Amino acid sequence: MNSQQKIKQLIDKREQAKLGGGVKRIEAQHQKGKLTAKERIAILLDEGSFEEYDMFVTHRCTDFGLEKESYMSDGVVTGHGTIDGRVVFVFSQDFTVFGGSLSETFAQKICKIMDQAMKIGAPVIGINDSGGARIQEGVKSLAGYAEIFERNILASGVIPQISAIFGPCAGGAVYSPALTDFILMTEDTSYMFVTGPKVTKTVTGESISTEELGGAEVHATKSGVSHFVVEDEEEGLMMIRKLLSYLPQNNLEEPPMTPTNDPIDRREDALNDLVPVDSNKPYDMLNLIQLIVDNGEFLEVQPKFARNIITAFAKMGGMPVGIVANQPNYLAGVLDINASRKAARFVRFCDAFNIPLVTLVDVPGFLPGSAQEYGGIIIHGAKLLFAYGEATVPKVTVTVRKSYGGAHDVMSSKQLRGDINYAWPTAEIAVMGAAGAVEVLEGRKLGEIKDDNERARYIEEKTNEYNEKFANPYQAAKYGYIDDVIEPRNTRFRVIRALRTLATKKDLLPPKKHSNIPL
Provide the annotated active-site residues. 171-172, 406-407
Q: Is 132 in the site for ligand HXC (CB under 6 A)?
A: yes
Q: Is 134 in the site for ligand HXC (CB under 6 A)?
A: yes
- E strand or H helix at 430, and its extent? strand 428-430
The correct pick among 75, 79, 123, 131 for binding ligand HXC (CB under 6 A) is 131
- Closer to ligand HXC by Cβ: residue 189 or 413: 189
- E strand or H helix at 193, and its extent? strand 191-193
The span of 98-106, 117-125, 275-283, 361-369 binding ligand HXC (CB under 6 A) equals 98-106
Cβ atoms within 10 Å of 129's Cβ, excluding its own = 29
Q: Is 193 in the site for ligand HXC (CB under 6 A)?
A: no
Q: Is 216 in the site for ligand HXC (CB under 6 A)?
A: no
* Phi, psi for residue 2 in degrees, rounded to 5: -85, 175
Q: Is 151 in the site for ligand HXC (CB under 6 A)?
A: no
**Three-state SS for 326?**
strand
Closest approach of Cβ 94 to ligand HXC, in Å? 10
Q: Are the C-beta atoms of 346 and 300 separated by less than 8 Å?
A: no
Q: Is 197 in the site for ligand HXC (CB under 6 A)?
A: no
Q: Is 435 in the site for ligand HXC (CB under 6 A)?
A: no
Q: Is 173 in the site for ligand HXC (CB under 6 A)?
A: yes
Q: Are the C-beta atoms of 476 and 367 separated by less than 8 Å?
A: no
- Closer to ligand HXC by Cβ: residue 26 or 334: 26
Q: Is 381 in the site for ligand HXC (CB under 6 A)?
A: no
Q: Is 365 in the site for ligand HXC (CB under 6 A)?
A: no
Cβ atoms within 10 Å of 204's Cβ, excluding its own = 10
> What end-to-end distance do the CA atoms of the chain give, in Å?
62
Q: Is 179 in the site for ligand HXC (CB under 6 A)?
A: no
The correct pick among 81, 123, 171, 248 for binding ligand HXC (CB under 6 A) is 171
- Closer to ligand HXC by Cβ: residue 132 or 394: 132
Torsion-angle region of 205 (φ positive above 0: left; ψ -120 to 50: alpha; else: beta) = left
Q: Is 172 in the site for ligand HXC (CB under 6 A)?
A: yes
Q: Are the C-beta atoms of 288 and 233 separated by less than 8 Å?
A: no
Closest approach of Cβ 149 to ligand HXC, in Å? 7
- Closer to ligand HXC by Cβ: residue 150 or 461: 150
Closest approach of Cβ 103 to ligand HXC, in Å? 9
- Closer to ligand HXC by Cβ: residue 168 or 365: 168
The span of 127-135, 213-221, 321-329, 368-376 binding ligand HXC (CB under 6 A) equals 127-135
Beta strand extents in 28-116 (DSSP E only): 51-53, 76-83, 86-93
Q: Is 177 in the site for ligand HXC (CB under 6 A)?
A: no
Closest approach of Cβ 200 to ligand HXC, in Å? 13
Q: Is 101 in the site for ligand HXC (CB under 6 A)?
A: yes
Based on DSSP, count helices (H) and strands (E) in the chain, helices before strands. Answer: 20, 17
- Closer to ligand HXC by Cβ: residue 101 or 152: 101
CA distance 408 to 399: 9
Closest approach of Cβ 23 to ligand HXC, in Å? 13
- Give the dihedral of Cα atoms 252, 257, 263, 268; nearest 10 deg: -60
Find how far residue 50's CA is from the centre of its chain: 27
Number of amino acids touching ligand HXC (CB under 6 A): 15
298-301 vs 309-316, strand pairing mode: antiparallel
Q: Are the C-beta atoms of 222 and 192 separated by less than 8 Å?
A: no
CA distance 204 to 202: 6
Q: Is 26 in the site for ligand HXC (CB under 6 A)?
A: no
Cβ atoms within 10 Å of 226's Cβ, excluding its own = 26
Q: Is 364 in the site for ligand HXC (CB under 6 A)?
A: no
Length of the chain, in residues: 519
Q: Is 214 in the site for ligand HXC (CB under 6 A)?
A: no
Handedness of CA 228, 231, 232, 238 (dihedral sign): negative
- Closer to ligand HXC by Cβ: residue 11 or 135: 135
- Give the dihedral of Cα atoms 455, 457, 459, 464; nearest 10 deg: -170
Q: Is 191 in the site for ligand HXC (CB under 6 A)?
A: no
- Closer to ligand HXC by Cβ: residue 142 or 178: 142
Helix, strand, coil percent content, the chain, rounded in steps of 5? 45, 20, 35
CA distance 484 to 146: 51
Q: Is 208 in the site for ligand HXC (CB under 6 A)?
A: no
- Closer to ligand HXC by Cβ: residue 95 or 481: 95
Q: Is 145 in the site for ligand HXC (CB under 6 A)?
A: yes
Q: Are the C-beta atoms of 267 and 489 separated by less than 8 Å?
A: yes
The span of 169-177, 361-369, 390-398, 500-508 binding ligand HXC (CB under 6 A) equals 169-177
The span of 37-45, 132-140, 455-463, 489-497 binding ligand HXC (CB under 6 A) equals 132-140
**Three-state SS for 83?**
strand
Closest approach of Cβ 22 to ligand HXC, in Å? 9
Could you list the residues that contact ligand HXC (CB under 6 A)? 25, 98-99, 101, 131-135, 142, 145, 168, 171-173
